[in-house]
């Protein structure tokens, strides 16, 4: 029996656009931004700030080290934030509706810059902060490991106090879903262009 819904963030709840982020970093002088930024997982110092091995200031200094001209912290943060396109209010209200029937949790590959800026603003769109929508939250930079590494699912299990066989993990990456499935989680693909609430309806879970 499914008691818990464990959500990915980017591409499931929040709209994202990798190409805009690549262009923004190119605009501040990063010649090879495309090689660092992925749809589901990042590389180099972008991975470092998401897996917690680099702090936000260390990440910004690493970025400056590959730029063709100087950039401020604000310019770097703005470029990184271009990945995020926001959350439609109807999705926030759907999360509230789901919380009446399930324990709703979040498991996200993210970083402290996006978390405290663009993500925080997006969740405030309907008058609440992010903690209003979830019973518990796991971020990669706090767990110090990223999906699809199995260790992050073990961390989520321990930290959130959830059992995999009672938990449905919802993500837009098949690799992440496969990793969770091998550990006993139920899984649901929210493919690009679909809505998680509709997919849950199709699965007869709401």
Answer whether 16's CB lies under 8 Å from 10's CB.
yes
Active site members: 8
Q: Tell me how far apart the alpha carbons of residues 171 and 194 are, in angstroms, rounded to a whole number.
A: 11
Nearest residue to 68 via CA among 23, 30, 21:
30
**Partners of 134 in the β-ladder:** none
Contacts (Cβ under 8 Å, ≥6 apart) of 133: 92, 95, 96, 99, 104, 106, 123
Distances (CA, A) of 67 to 23, 31, 75: 14, 7, 12
């Amino acid at each position: 029996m499914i008691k818990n819904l464990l959500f990915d963030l980017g591409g499931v709840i929040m709209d994202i656009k990798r190409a805009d982020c690549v262009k923004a970093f190119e605009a501040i002088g990063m010649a090879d931004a495309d090689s660092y930024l992925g749809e589901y997982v990042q590389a180099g110092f972008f991975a470092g700030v998401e897996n917690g091995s680099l702090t936000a200031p260390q990440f910004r200094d690493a970025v400056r080290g590959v730029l063709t001209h100087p950039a401020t912290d604000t310019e770097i943060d703005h470029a990184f934030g271009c990945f995020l396109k926001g959350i439609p209010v109807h999705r926030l209200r759907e999360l509230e509706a789901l919380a009446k029937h399930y324990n709703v949790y979040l498991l996200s590959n993210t970083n402290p810059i996006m978390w405290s800026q663009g993500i925080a603003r997006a969740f405030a769109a309907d008058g609440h902060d992010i903690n209003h929508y979830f019973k518990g939250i796991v971020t990669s930079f706090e767990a110090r490991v990223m999906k699809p590494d199995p260790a992050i699912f073990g961390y989520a299990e321990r930290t959130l106090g959830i059992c995999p066989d009672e938990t449905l993990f919802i993500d837009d990456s098949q690799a992440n879903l496969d990793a969770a499935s091998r550990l006993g989680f139920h899984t649901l693909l929210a493919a690009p262009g679909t809505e998680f609430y509709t997919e849950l309806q199709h699965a007869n879970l709401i």
